[in-house]
Structure 1
Amino acid sequence: MPKRLISSLNSSLERWLPEKRLFLRSDDATRFLRLRPLTQLGCLMGGTVMFGWTLFASSVLVIDAISSGSNEEQMVQAHAAFEERLAQLSSERDARAAEALATQNRFTAALQQVSEMQSQLLASEKKRSELETGLQTIQSSLRQAISERNDAEEQIRMTDGNDATNHARDEEIAAALDILSGELRDTAKARGEAERSAEVALKTAEELRIERDQIVTRNDEILNQLENAVTVSVKPLDDVFRSVGMDPDEVLEAIRKGYSGQGGPLNPISYSTSGNAALKQSETKAKQIVVTLDEMNTYRIAIEKLPLAMPLKTSYRLTSGFGRRWGRMHSGIDMAGPTGTAVYATADGVVNFAGQQSGYGNLIKISHELGTETRFGHLSRIRVKQGQRVSQGDLIGDMGSTGRSTGPHLHYEVRMNGRAVDPMSFIKAANNVF
């Protein structure tokens, strides 16, 4: 039955794939191979499958290379844009704070001027009151003098006394009345000018108060935007440490211990306390933003010390992940590529081992801060020495297949306080933040 089926298929395919013979000649004999239609069809299908697989694998490698480069560019651009936006918000906040302070100073000066005007007005009122009292006294004296003059005239008429003496006394009284009238006119004029100056000063103070309130409102809006920006920016940084199994509070405390220097002269600061409750509220919010920015900067310092970068900058194939493999624990990830592919440090640190180790082959161990360590195994060449300090992105070795290995690849490990953790958690955390 199978022979009959094969013969039937060959007969059906004879039209498109006629039978062919391949002759093999030697010195003493000639032989040939019969290529039936079914055999030719199998060879064509096998060649087509191999060609399709080659196209598919090449496409995957090209897509991986393109996506790897675009992700790195997006990380750099996003980080630069974030830093630029923070710098803009900080400069705008400082400018608004300076405007508010200048307006507050002008408002205080206007209030002081109003106070001086009011003091002058009170002094003028007091002087006017004294002059009125003096005028009443003089008028009383004048009335008494007039009465006495009338009495004297009566006596003079009765006694026919000296008229020249009475005339001189009348002139003295008239001169005193003229002087008193001039003083009263000057006092009334000064009082009017003081009232007008006080009205102008009050109007100026009201305009400055309105301008100050507008600046304070604008400053409060900027502070709210800045507060929202830094709050949103801190959460992904906090998630980075939680995703890799680290306590963010302990990380921040460790960084602050290493960056705790202070100094400089202490100069007294004077504050105006007249009507600046809104400024005090803005100042409190600004101080909170400064605290959040300090926390964010501390996170940034901590992130720079974590191994978040990629050890390879070219295309690779992830051949084995972190976890149990073949019944044993695989403490890192395997990234396959051509022999000699450059391997880079993923964070700043110190090389504490560079040499041969069983199973790892050529191995490099780098100690980083915050209790982390990275390992790079199966290298074909080691480019650093024990005790050497390296920075993130420094070339440390070449990919190879030394030690227990089935082909050229990089065995990459991350350890925290001696315990192996999944390196992909660090790489994914960096992608989520940047």
Structure 2
Amino acid sequence: MSRMFKAVNASLARFLPEQTLTLKTRVDQRELTFTPLVRLFLLSGTTLALGWLVIATTATISSSFESDSAQARSDSLQDAYELRLAELAAERDEFGRQTQAMQDRFTLALQQVSAQQDELIDAMTVQNEQEITLFALQRKLNGVTAERNAAQAGLDGFQAEFAASAEGAGPRESTEHELKLTVNALNSVLDETLQTRDASIEYTETLELEIEKTAQRIRLDAQRRDRMITQLEEAVMISFQPLEAMLKSTGLDVDSLIANVRRNYSGSGGLNGALDEASFIGMDAPDLRLEALMRDLDTLQIYNITSAKLPLSMPVLTSFRYSSSFGPRNGKLHKGVDMAGPMGSPIYSTGDGVVTFAGVQNGYGNVVMFQHDFGFSTVYAHQSKLRVTKGQRVARGERIGDMGSSGRSSGSHLHYEVRNDGTAVNPMDYIKAGQNVF
């Protein structure tokens, strides 16, 4: 082995000659001899150390670059996420504005239907009165014309009689005094007849002018009525379409609901009970358009009544968040939706109905229960204050209580249920159906 090391050292001596390192101290002196083989080991170790240092440094720099790149990607994804959130918020706000605009148009259309109906009835009444007045004026004109013709005939008769008297006076032996009396009498009658005729002509002209004015008013009123009918038709269309779409989106048998309401309100006589079938007696063919409009108004009223009886509006109108949805929860069926909001937030009835319970129940705390038509009922639980009593009839949109945390509750919220024939159904199906109308 010693000979092998010597041989290796001898071979390496040409490249790595032996070197001696002298270490001096105050009391001693030492020498360290580095043979070619030792120098090779030291050089190799140094090279490996430098290589490892270079590799480690490169890896560190690369890792730093990768970290920066990952951070950049993360920042980019975060920016994209925030941008998408902003877009979604903008879309939500735009949808909210569109929904509000639709609700405003719907409300305005209903108001126009109510206001213009009264105007239409007034216009029809005025038209009927004017037609009666025109008929009376025409009859009077005919009578005056007959009187004028009779007066003219009388005048002609007097003139003929006067002429005959004048011609016959010659052969007779009448005195001059008698002749003058006769002439004066005839002249008096003639003057009176002429005055009557002139007065009749003047009155006739006045009547003809009044008749023309009345006819002009009738034509203007007819045009105004046609414009009102057109506006009413447009208002009915705007009002009817969202109501029909809303009822159909509930998945209920709309035809059956409408038939039920129509039977119960068969005596209403159309919108607000203002017109009935007697209003159409004697109508001409052009007035069939008005009759069709009245039927549409009646249908609109029936749809409006039907929608009011269903729980389709929001029970909470102030700021809130959905904290729990309808469906399975902790192994049980959560029978409603939870709307979390500030303590005391107003709670409103979602449809016309009668209060069947208002008090405290286990779990529900302060709770109000409603019975609506068509087998529907609603529950409003965990309230802090109740504002209705059992047996009270409440309309849709009336305040019935305040949000709270009574009963089995972890915080201020409303637990809202909708039941159909006693079975809990998803309230969101009905809230979504009515969201563009109420």
TM above 0.5, yes or no, is yes
Find the aligned partners of 2:127 and 2:238 in 1 and give their Cα distance: 27
Residue 254 of structure 2 is matched in structure 1 by 247
Residue 378 of structure 2 is matched in structure 1 by 374
Find the aligned partners of 2:405 and 2:262 in 1 and give their Cα distance: 34
Find the aligned partners of 2:218 and 2:375 in 1 and give their Cα distance: 52
1:433 aligns with 2:433: no
- The residue correspondences of 1:34-433 to structure 2 (distance < 5 A) are 74=101, 77-90=104-117, 92-94=119-121, 96-97=123-124, 100-101=127-128, 103-104=130-131, 106-108=133-135, 110-132=137-159, 134-135=161-162, 138=165, 143=168, 146-147=170-171, 149=173, 169-184=175-190, 186-188=192-194, 190-244=196-250, 245-248=252-255, 250-251=257-258, 253-254=260-261, 257=264, 289-312=293-316, 313-317=318-322, 320=325, 334-335=337-338, 337=340, 344=347, 345-347=349-351, 348-352=353-357, 355-356=361-362, 365-375=369-379, 384=386, 387=390, 389=392, 392=397, 393-395=399-401, 398=404, 402=408, 412-433=416-437
Structure 1, residues 274-305: CA drift from partner, whole Å, max 9, x if none?
Answer: xx977x965x6556545544443443343333
Find the aligned partners of 2:55 and 2:113 in 1 and give their Cα distance: 75
Find the aligned partners of 1:209 and 1:88 in 2 and give their Cα distance: 27
One-letter code of the match for 1:127?
Answer: G
* SS of alignment partner, residue 313 of structure 2: coil
Q: How many residues align?
A: 366
The CA RMSD over aligned residues, in Å, is 5.3
Shift of the alpha carbon at 1:124? 0.3
Shift of the alpha carbon at 1:121? 0.7
Find the aligned partners of 1:356 and 1:64 in 2 and give their Cα distance: 42
Given the superposition, is the C-alpha separation of residues 118 and 79 from structure 1 closer, same or farther in structure 2, using an over 3 Å criterion? same
Given the superposition, is the C-alpha separation of residues 46 and 367 from structure 1 closer, same or farther in structure 2, using an over 3 Å criterion? farther
One-letter code of the match for 2:151?
Answer: S
Which blocks of at least 5 consecutive residues in structure 1 are unaligned? 1-6, 19-36, 150-167, 263-270
One-letter code of the match for 1:107?
Answer: L
* SS of alignment partner, residue 346 of structure 1: coil
Given the superposition, is the C-alpha separation of residues 427 and 217 from structure 1 closer, same or farther in structure 2, using an over 3 Å criterion? same
Find the aligned partners of 2:429 and 2:418 in 1 and give their Cα distance: 10
Structure 1, residues 312-336: CA drift from partner, whole Å, max 9, x if none?
Answer: 44342476567xx69x996866457
Bigger shift: residues 296-305 or 73-82: 73-82
CA contact (8 A) 1:310 1:346 kept: yes
Bigger shift: residues 99-108 or 231-240: 99-108
Find the aligned partners of 1:240 and 1:198 in 2 and give their Cα distance: 62
Q: TM-score normalised to the size of structure 2?
A: 0.60
Given the superposition, is the C-alpha separation of residues 365 and 187 from structure 1 closer, same or farther in structure 2, using an over 3 Å criterion? closer
* SS of alignment partner, residue 428 of structure 1: helix
Q: TM-score normalised to the size of structure 1?
A: 0.61
Shift of the alpha carbon at 1:418? 3.3
The structure with more radius of gyration: 2
One-letter code of the match for 1:247?
Answer: V
CA contact (8 A) 1:340 1:400 kept: no
Residue 152 of structure 1 is matched in structure 2 by none
Find the aligned partners of 1:336 and 1:12 in 2 and give their Cα distance: 57
Find the aligned partners of 1:315 and 1:63 in 2 and give their Cα distance: 19
CA contact (8 A) 2:377 2:418 kept: yes
